[in-house]
């Protein structure tokens, strides 16, 4: 038993010293980080609260059914879609903002961390409770509260699934623009926390461009609105600061989102290439020609193979790459831009340029792209998704570098990505049953991220920093930058109870993350 958090001499609320058995294990094919759940309390200002007291209080707030504490129940919440796991001690599923606020207050009195969770599709370990504590699921806050088409605004709760917003307004000719490939599963609260993007980010921007305001529960349980129902609220842009804060500044309980009107015409083509270079050069040429497609998505041969094995849509299996180009707008513009894009594909060596004839063909092309991550399971037992960004003009070079890194580490890498944004998703394929392979995977991932930064890019385009990338944040920010960010966080959450252990590199020796029995590969943890 090692004390991992000392009472903070300056704090005015209950001090709780968590003593936890923490150990890393390299089990069941994933990194595991266990927090035993043994609280030992040394409260100074309020009556000490045992774990059972806290569970009882939470049950009073949200109801017996909605507090989980048995291992077989909480284990469901130990991971997201990343390769990281940590067991929560308690899971609470409130039904409304008042209950969220009461849970936050109870957690604060007990001194335990709170980790908000949407649908658990995050790819950076953001919803993984690295310091144990309470996982606060927002899944039951799932109502669309208001649709105001005249002002093109919808107000939704955080557990609403992204695609359901578009479904709710499609018949009236509107849609919600940010469309992560996971949009049939991910929640709008998770999208706000991660400032998520998607295939159509190129034309429409990311979540922050479509959020007008958020209702949030702060770390002391206070409920506040940041932003407004109209653009350009006066004062500091606290809503802007909140979007992308990965659950470290507060809990999102309502979101006012912008609705967009559907375009008059949509045209989609698939260009087939025998080499990746031709495909990436086409992306650079299309945007350089002044065309801003709604989407420019690229898939390489391994990804095509996965899709065609999993849920075939007719992509050519022998192609080195396929490029999906979608253009929207008024009919005349769309046709002209499509003709130009087709010509640029041909000029860069596309062996076939196939336009979708109707909605059915278009949907099929997108079905393949949006199902590509899931389909990777047909060609590999495990894969590790990376999320680097480079300036678009660097695409041809970085894709050659990614291929070289794969060769150097003896690993297959499947690429399916938002090429128009320069946002790479190299998926490193591996088999955890092979000793030593995971270490090579992590090192190859780090090499890719470094190459992206060296090319003038970044270590994340849309998946966030979370737990997984915090070791690399120093590649982008120096100590002063990080300190400035920490001060912002501090002003929202002085006791650092909201989603601790995320974004910021852990100070050495804090005991929060340790090398376990199977040596953690250098780079992932610091």
Ligand X SMILES: Cc1cc2nc3c(=O)[nH]c(=O)nc-3n(C[C@H](O)[C@H](O)[C@H](O)COP(=O)(O)OP(=O)(O)OC[C@H]3O[C@@H](n4cnc5c(N)ncnc54)[C@H](O)[C@@H]3O)c2cc1C
Binding site for ligand X (CB under 6 A): 80-81, 115-123, 126-127, 138, 158, 180-182, 186-187, 189-191, 193-194, 196-198, 246-247, 251-252, 373-374, 462-463, 466, 499
Paired tokens of 327: 């253009």
Smallest separation, CB 131 to ligand X (Å)? 13
Q: Are strands 412-417 and 352-355 parallel, antiparallel or unpaired?
A: unpaired
CA gyration radius, the chain: 23
Smallest separation, CB 497 to ligand X (Å)? 13
Smallest separation, CB 446 to ligand X (Å)? 20
Nearer to ligand X, 362 or 418 (CB): 418
Q: Contact 188/269 with Cβ under 8 angstroms? A: no
Smallest separation, CB 9 to ligand X (Å)? 29
Nearer to ligand X, 120 or 278 (CB): 120
Q: How far is Cα 63 from Cα 67, in angstroms, rounded to an integer?
A: 7
Q: Which segments of 63-96 does DSSP mark as H helices, in order?
A: 71-74
Smallest separation, CB 339 to ligand X (Å)? 28
Q: Contact 160/253 with Cβ under 8 angstroms? A: no
Q: How far is Cα 337 from Cα 343, in angstroms, rounded to an integer?
A: 10
Paired tokens of 157: 């709760």
Smallest separation, CB 265 to ligand X (Å)? 24
Smallest separation, CB 247 to ligand X (Å)? 3
**Helix or strand or coil: residue 263?**
coil
Contacts of 374 (CB under 8 A, 6+ apart): 310
Nearer to ligand X, 79 or 348 (CB): 79
Nearer to ligand X, 99 or 348 (CB): 99
| 365: β partners | none
Query: CA dist 456 to 54, 394, 468, Å?
Result: 48, 9, 21
Smallest separation, CB 120 to ligand X (Å)? 5
Backbone angles phi, psi at 321, to 5 degrees: -160, 150
Nearer to ligand X, 140 or 412 (CB): 140
Paired tokens of 186: 């991910």
Smallest separation, CB 188 to ligand X (Å)? 8
Is 225 exposed, middle or buried, given 0-12, 13-18 or 19+ CB atoms closer than 10 A?
middle
Contacts of 325 (CB under 8 A, 6+ apart): 268, 269, 270, 271, 286, 293, 295, 296, 338, 341, 345
Nearer to ligand X, 366 or 373 (CB): 373
Nearer to ligand X, 121 or 301 (CB): 121
Smallest separation, CB 328 to ligand X (Å)? 18
Let me know how long the chain is.
526
Q: Contact 465/246 with Cβ under 8 angstroms? A: yes
Nearer to ligand X, 184 or 265 (CB): 184
Nearer to ligand X, 81 or 524 (CB): 81
Nearer to ligand X, 157 or 277 (CB): 157
* Tally of CA atoms within 13 A in the half-sphere of 53 that contains its CB: 13
């Amino acid at each position: 038993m090692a004390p991992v958090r000392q009472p903070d001499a300056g704090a005015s609320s209950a001090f709780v010293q968590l003593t936890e058995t923490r150990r890393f294990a390299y089990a069941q094919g994933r990194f595991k980080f266990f927090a035993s759940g043994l609280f030992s309390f040394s409260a100074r200002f309020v009556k000490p609260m045992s774990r059972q007291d806290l569970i009882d209080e939470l049950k009073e707030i949200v109801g017996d059914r909605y507090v989980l504490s048995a291992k077989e129940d909480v284990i469901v919440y130990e991971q997201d879609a990343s390769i990281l796991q940590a067991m929560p001690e308690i899971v609470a599923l409130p039904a409304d903002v008042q209950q969220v606020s009461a849970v936050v207050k109870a957690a604060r009195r007990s001194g335990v961390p709170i980790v908000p969770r949407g649908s658990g599709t995050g790819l950076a370990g953001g919803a993984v409770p690295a310091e144990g504590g309470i996982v606060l699921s927002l899944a039951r806050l799932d109502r669309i509260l208001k649709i105001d088409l005249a002002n093109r605004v919808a107000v939704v709760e955080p557990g609403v699934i992204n695609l359901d917003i578009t479904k709710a307004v499609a018949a009236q000719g509107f849609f919600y623009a940010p469309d992560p490939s996971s949009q049939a599963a991910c929640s709008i609260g998770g999208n706000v926390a991660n400032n998520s993007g998607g295939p159509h980010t190129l034309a429409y921007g990311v979540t922050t461009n479509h959020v007008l305001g958020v209702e949030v529960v702060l770390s002391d349980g206070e409920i506040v609105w940041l932003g407004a129902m109209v653009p350009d609220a006066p004062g500091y842009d606290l809503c802007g600061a909140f979007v992308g804060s990965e659950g470290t500044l507060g809990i999102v309980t309502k979101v006012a989102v912008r609705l967009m009107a559907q375009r008059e015409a949509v045209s989609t083509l698939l260009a087939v290439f025998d080499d990746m270079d031709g495909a990436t050069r086409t992306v650079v040429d299309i945007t350089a020609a002044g065309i801003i497609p709604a989407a420019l998505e690229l898939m390489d041969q391994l990804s095509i193979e996965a899709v065609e094995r999993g849920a075939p849509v007719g992509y050519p299996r022998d192609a080195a790459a396929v490029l999906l180009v979608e253009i929207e707008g008024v009919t005349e513009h769309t046709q002209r831009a499509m003709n130009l894009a087709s010509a640029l594909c041909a000029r860069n060596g596309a062996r076939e340029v196939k336009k979708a004839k109707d909605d059915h063909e278009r949907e099929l092309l997108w079905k393949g792209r949006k199902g590509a991550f899931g389909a990777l399971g047909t060609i590999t037992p495990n894969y590790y998704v990376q999320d680097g960004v480079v300036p678009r003009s660097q695409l041809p070079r970085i894709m050659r570098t990614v291929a070289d890194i794969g060769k150097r580490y003896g690993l297959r890498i499947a690429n399916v990505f938002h090429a128009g944004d320069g946002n790479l998703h190299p998926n490193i394929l591996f088999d955890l049953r092979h000793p030593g392979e995971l270490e090579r995977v992590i090192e190859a991932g780090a090499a890719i991220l470094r190459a992206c930064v060296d090319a003038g890019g970044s270590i994340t385009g849309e998946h966030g920093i979370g737990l997984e990338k915090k070791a690399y944040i120093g590649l982008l920010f120096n100590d002063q930058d990080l300190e400035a960010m920490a001060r912002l966080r501090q002003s929202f959450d002085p006791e650092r109870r909201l989603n601790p252990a995320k974004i910021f590199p852990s100070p050495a020796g804090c005991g929060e993350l340790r090398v376990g029995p199977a040596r953690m590969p250098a780079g992932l943890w610091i």
